[in-house]
Amino acid sequence: MAVEEEGLRVFQSVKIKIGEAKNLPTYPGPNKMRDCYCTVNLDQEEVFRTKIVEKSLCPFYGEDFYCEIPRSFRHLSFYIFDRDVFRRDSIIGKVAIRKEDLQKYHNRDTWFQLQHVDADSEVQASQSPRNRKECEEKETREFSEDPFPFTS
């Protein structure tokens, strides 16, 4: 995230104020209300999560978030989720802003239209077990002609 240049620490940062969502779609069950939270992602990595606002279609978060950002990121995304205690939380919608467009929103309160999210189209990472073999014994020999060690 930070880069050292001639003794100076250079980094980019972002400060985000997450205000509220309004007119979210109703839950298809008998309750109709939702328990919502918002995540902030840099590319596909979640870097912040708001508190859960229970039983609301217009949740107010009122939270500020500040972080250093990598120079290489491409999108800042906001996902609104509906918490489900029995199943996996469902995505209600998202907003994605390209890095080069962030300056347009500097010091401005802005409403964004939530985009529908097809769960199958979103890139999701999962960790799978890997087989790993380790050598129990290694012998290292150094030769004066070769600066690199030899391992067998």
Does residue 102 sit in helix, strand or coil? helix
Mean pLDDT score across all residues of the chain: 80
Determine the pLDDT at residue 118: 80
Q: Give pLDDT tens digits for 87-146.
A: 899 999 999 999 999 999 988 999 999 999 986 666 544 333 343 434 344 343 434 344
Residue spans of the domains in the chain: they are 3-126
At the topology level, CATH places domain 3-126 in Immunoglobulin-like (2.60.40)
Question: pLDDT at residue 71 above 50?
Answer: yes
Residues 60-89 as b or e (16 or more Cβ within 10 Å = b)? ebeeeeeeebeeebeebbbbbbbeeeeeeb
**pTM for the whole thing?**
0.72
